[in-house]
Amino acid sequence: MFDYNPPQDLLKDKVIMITGASDGIGKACASSFADHGATVICLGRSQEKLEALYDEIEVRHAGKVIIHPLDFATAQPEDYKLLANSLNEQFPALDGLLHNAALLGARSPIEFYPEGEWETLMKVNVNSAFMLTRALLPALQNATSGRIVFTSSSVGRQGRAYWGAYAVSKFAVEGLMQTLADELATTSNIRVNSLNPGGTRTAMRQAAYPAEKPDSQPTAESLMPVYLYLFGPDGDTLHGKALDARNFDGN
C-alpha cells in the first residue's frame, strides 16, 4: 500500500465535496479529510447515515462538516443548481470534488439486463457525475488548485462478462474524466483524474462477492494515503491519469 505520511494540516482551509459519503470509501474520506483540516460537504441518499457521520466528525472538528441528502436516482437539474448556489453563498471556492457514489446493479448478461435498472444505474453512476461537475465547475475554477477525482473500477477499463451496466458506467466515467481533463489542461488550475480503489471491504464489495471473506480485502481507511495525496498539494502534477490505488506510487 502507498506509504505517505501527510502533515495534519495538509488540507487546512480546503473545502471538499464527497458524494456517496454516508458509507464505505466516501465515509472514510470525509472523516480523513476533516482530520487533515478540510471542511467536508457530504452528499448521500441516507439522511440517517449522514446525520451519524455528521455527529462523528462534528465532535472532533466542530464546524467542519456539512451534510446534504440527495438521491441521484431521482435528482433533477434544479437540485444541482440549488446545491451549487448554496455552496457559493457559503464559500468563496470549492477546492475538491470526489465522485464516489455508485450503484452496483444487476450482475447478468447484457441480453437479460433489466431495462429500468440499467437506466437508474446510468443516472446515478454517470449522469449525476456530469450534472454535479457542470454545476460546480465555476466554484472549482475559483480555487487556487482545484481537484476532481472520479471513482473508477477495473471493469471500467477492461470489460468483464456479467458486470453489465456497472462496467459500462465506469467506462463512461473514464471517458468523462479524459474529456474534461483535456478541456481543462491548459485553461484551468483544476486537476482531473480517475482512481480505481480496487477490492475494498465495503458493502458494495460484499454484495458483488457474497462468498468472499470480508477481511480478505483492505479497509477503506487503508486507502486514505492515496486520497490525501491526490487532494493535497503533492497531487498538483497529476492530471488526466487513470490511477490504481493498489499500485499507486505518486505518479
Please identify every residue annotated as catalytic.
Answer: 166
Of the candidates 28, 30, 9, 32, the residue with the CA atom closest to the CA atom of residue 18: 30
Quick check: 32 and 61 in contact, CB under 8 A? Answer: no
In the block, residue with C-alpha cell 471556492: 93
| Per-residue CA distances from 182 to 149, 211, 212, 239 (Å) | 14, 41, 39, 9
Q: For 10-23, b where at least 16 C-beta lie within 10 A, e where not — what string?
A: bbeebbbbbbbbbb
In the block, residue with C-alpha cell 457559493: 88
How big is the chain by its Cα radius of gyration, in Å? 17
Instruction: Identify residue 60 by its one-letter amino acid code.
Output: R
| Per-residue CA distances from 101 to 79, 123, 128, 234 (Å) | 16, 11, 9, 25
Q: CA–CA separation, 189 vs 192, rounded Å?
A: 10
| Per-residue CA distances from 139 to 10, 95, 123, 199 (Å) | 21, 8, 23, 32
What SS3 class is residue 43? strand
